[in-house]
Amino acid sequence: MPPIALARPERLVQTQAPAAEETAAIVERIHRIGNLLRDNAPIADRNRVLPGESVDALEEAGAWRISALKRYGGYEGGAAMLLEVARTVGYYDPAAAWCVVISNGSVMLANRYNDELLDEVFANGPIRAASIFAQPQGTATPDGDGWRISGKWPFASNSSHSEWAIGILFIQDENAGAEPRIGFAMMQRSEYEVQDTWYTIGMRGSGSNTMVAENLWLPRNRVITFEALMGTGPECDPKATFGRRLTPHLTMSTTIQAPSLGAAQAALDYTTGISHKRGITYTHYRKQTDSGAFVHNLGAASIRIDGARLLLERAAAHIDAAAVGVEPMPLVERARHRAGIGHAGHELVEAANELCWLHGTASFAENSLLGRMWRDINTGTRHASISAPMGYELHGNGITSTPYISNKL
Instruction: Write the pLDDT tens digit of every residue in 348-370.
Output: 999 999 999 999 999 999 999 99
pLDDT in tens, 293-346: 999 999 999 999 999 999 999 999 999 999 999 999 999 999 999 999 999 999
Q: Whole-model pTM? A: 0.95
| Res. 221 pLDDT band, cuts 50 70 90 | very high
Q: Write down the pLDDT at residue 308.
A: 98
Mean pLDDT of the chain: 95
For 97, phi and psi rounded to 5 degrees? -65, -40
Q: 177 falls in which pLDDT band (50, 70, 90)?
A: confident
Give the pLDDT confidence of 227-255 residue by residue, as tens digits: 999 999 999 999 999 999 999 999 999 99
Other CB atoms closer than 10 Å to residue 125's CB: what's the count? 10
- At 9 the pLDDT is 53
pLDDT digits (tens, 9 = 90+) for 380-389: 999 999 989 9
262-274 average pLDDT score: 98
The pLDDT of 135-157, averaged and rounded, is 95
| pLDDT above 90 for 134 | no
pLDDT > 70: what percent of the chain? Answer: 98
